[in-house]
Structure 1
Amino acid sequence: MSGRNGLISTAELADILGQPNLRLFDCTTYLEPAPEGSSLPYLAVPGRHTFEAGHIPGADFLDLQAEFSDEDTELRFMMPGVALLSAAFGRHGISSDSEVVLYSIGTPMWATRFWWMLTSLGFENTAVLDGGLDKWKLEGRALETGPAKGHTPATFTAKPKPGFFVDKHATFEATTARNTVVVNALGPQFHKGLEPSRYGRPGRVPGSCNVSAATLLDSATKAFIPLAEAETKFTTQGITRDKRVVAYCGGGISATIDLFLLHRLGYQNLTLYDGSMGEWAKDASLPIETD
């Protein structure tokens, strides 16, 4: 799948369903309001119920928070250690000869998050389904119901790459670094600090620009907008190929939509601030900017 540059269409996926080395995964999580008085910004609810109600035939389900996130932090969805991830991906049958296709419901951000994680571990044979389950269903394609059947466990061999994730200190340094652009993938109202933030102080990382992940998608089909349109959105904000990019959002999820499209456009020096505003907004020692 390397020739697809990370993206696979619904028609292309339909042609390879049933191939023995295909590993197809629904990655959906839902963010639901936290109970009143809770310190959490939201509840992370795995999309297993919607998976069982209808999924692409042969798909397995990946629970990001339960299996693929660091449990030793209050922040949701943080990248865990290599050993934990390797064991989890291996449990789901991913080995060096697997072709992995990822999709989610409503937004591709859960699929692009797993794409980013797998790519950071040196696993290249990964594609995100353009439009996810939404487009698949719009086209009237076949669905399967019931629990995931899973795959025979395999040995996942990680070859971690440096530079895919940065912490708050490196992000702070990036705000004044030459040839570096910090980009916020949240909506403009949150970027400007015009609405209350569920993460803490409203506003943004100082000096960051805004390319909202939602503007990179077709609202009807949930497919990605054409690459030329995406590039215009990035270059308008000063994001060019000669610069390092540090992307963030609320919890390190929607920013991977920006990173996915930048990767497909050929940008090389891409980084995710994993803690994002879930960490930054609560840390009073860090500066925050509003309009």
Structure 2
Amino acid sequence: MSEEWVASADWLAEHLDDVAVVDIRDAWEYDGIGHVPGAVSVPFDDFRAEGGPEGMMPARDHWADLLGDAGIERGDTIVAYDDTHGVFAARFLVTALYYGHDDLRLLDGDYSAWLRDHETTDDAPDVTPTDYEPGDAREDVFVDADDVLAATDDPDAVVVDTREPEEYAEGHIPGAVNLDWKEVVDDETRGLKPRADIEDLLAERGITPDERVVLYCNTARRISHTFVVLRWLGFPDVAFYEGSLTDWTERGHPLE
């Protein structure tokens, strides 16, 4: 299929029968406001790590049960959406990638974009549960603090802080550049800014496809959104630090 990693509402409308659509909003929004036809409901709180700190991945068995109950197969193309510029949906997609699901799309412009030109429904689809089997964790993409530290000394790598500028100014990993995830979103359309505009913005910060990009944040959904955008732009080597700055400093690493 085309439109890898980011799918327009028009593209989704043409492929509704060929993809698994996942609604990440709260259950009351799915039921009370309506949803994309055929979409299944997997609210954000359902796949956050149970009993663990924010940002941790859910347990493998829990993830398998969630996707199996939603009727999703390992070979499905998953298109996820929310109503907050895709930041929560991006976390769902990154979790799916972590557990070996490769065919993933973020709905560009979130549910509001779908509403503008396409029909919605209040009817939940008939779901046939599956025996979803997650793959092995993607250690090539999800890195630890030692990998981040190595990247700070690597001339062919750039460490990117996806928090707000005020947070970055209060302290960040030495050498990291700041890219607030909202900078790539158009407030009017709610979708991503044009590809060329985002590429120019990234280049201004020294973030280019010929470098290894290592992302970090204190909130998993914000870093997830930037991760999806970079993969959509064709960046071949994007790493995701699942730990927080608290984890970073507790390991004895400094901030700048």
- In 2, Cα distance between the equivalents of 1:255 and 1:104? 16
Correspondences of 1:247-266 after superposition (within 5 Å):
247-266=215-234
Give the match for residue 132 of structure 2: 156
After superposition, give the CA deviation of every residue in 1:77-136 in whole Å (9 maximum; x if it has no partner). 311343432332222111134232100112211112222222333322221111010212
1:140, distance to aligned residue in structure 2 (A): 4.7
After superposition, give the CA deviation of every residue in 1:1-56 in whole Å (9 maximum; x if it has no partner). 3x211221111222333x2x53211113xxxxxxxxxxxxxxxxxx2222222222
- In 2, Cα distance between the equivalents of 1:213 and 1:15? 29
1:254, distance to aligned residue in structure 2 (A): 1.0
Give the match for residue 199 of structure 1: none
**Residues 93, 112 of structure 1: alpha-carbon distance in 2 compared, 3 angstrom cutoff:** same
Contact 1:191 1:210 in 2 (8 A): yes
Contact 1:251 1:274 in 2 (8 A): no
Give the match for residue 198 of structure 1: none
Correspondences of 1:133-172 after superposition (within 5 Å):
133-137=111-115, 139-145=116-122, 148-149=124-125, 151-160=127-136, 161-172=138-149
After superposition, give the CA deviation of every residue in 1:222-270 in whole Å (9 maximum; x if it has no partner). 1111111111122211122222111112222111222112112221111
Query: Is 1:58–2:35 an aligned residue pair?
Result: no
What letter corresponds to residue 60 of structure 1 in structure 2? V
Tell me, what secondary structure is at the counterpart of 1:271?
strand
Work out which of the residue numbers 241, 245, 263 in structure 1 matches 2:209: 241
Give the match for residue 14 of structure 2: 15
What letter corresponds to residue 81 of structure 2 in structure 1? Y
- In 2, Cα distance between the equivalents of 1:183 and 1:144? 40
Contact 1:107 1:222 in 2 (8 A): yes
Give the match for residue 71 of structure 2: 93
Tell me, what secondary structure is at the counterpart of 2:129?
coil
Tell me, what secondary structure is at the counterpart of 1:247?
strand
Tell me the TM-score normalised to structure 1 length.
Answer: 0.78
- Percent of pairs with identical residues: 26
> Where does structure 1 differ by over 4 angstroms across 4 or more consecutive aligned residues?
none
Tell me the TM-score normalised to structure 2 length.
Answer: 0.88
Stretch moving more, 168-177 or 230-239: 168-177
Q: How many residues align?
A: 254
Tell me, what secondary structure is at the counterpart of 1:122?
coil
Contact 2:142 2:242 in 1 (8 A): yes
Contact 2:213 2:237 in 1 (8 A): yes
- In 1, Cα distance between the equivalents of 2:198 and 2:175? 21
Contact 1:94 1:156 in 2 (8 A): yes
After superposition, give the CA deviation of every residue in 1:139-171 in whole Å (9 maximum; x if it has no partner). 15322237x556211122333333221233432
Correspondences of 1:26-105 after superposition (within 5 Å):
26-28=23-25, 47-54=26-33, 55-66=35-46, 68-73=47-52, 75-105=53-83
Contact 2:42 2:66 in 1 (8 A): no
Unaligned runs of 5+ in 1: 29-46, 194-202
Give the match for residue 178 of structure 2: 210
What letter corresponds to residue 13 of structure 1 in structure 2? L
**Residues 276, 231 of structure 1: alpha-carbon distance in 2 compared, 3 angstrom cutoff:** farther
After superposition, give the CA deviation of every residue in 1:195-231 in whole Å (9 maximum; x if it has no partner). xxxxxxxx22221101111010111221111111111
RMSD: 2.3
- In 2, Cα distance between the equivalents of 1:227 and 1:56? 25
After superposition, give the CA deviation of every residue in 1:173-215 in whole Å (9 maximum; x if it has no partner). 332234221101112122112xxxxxxxxx2222110111101
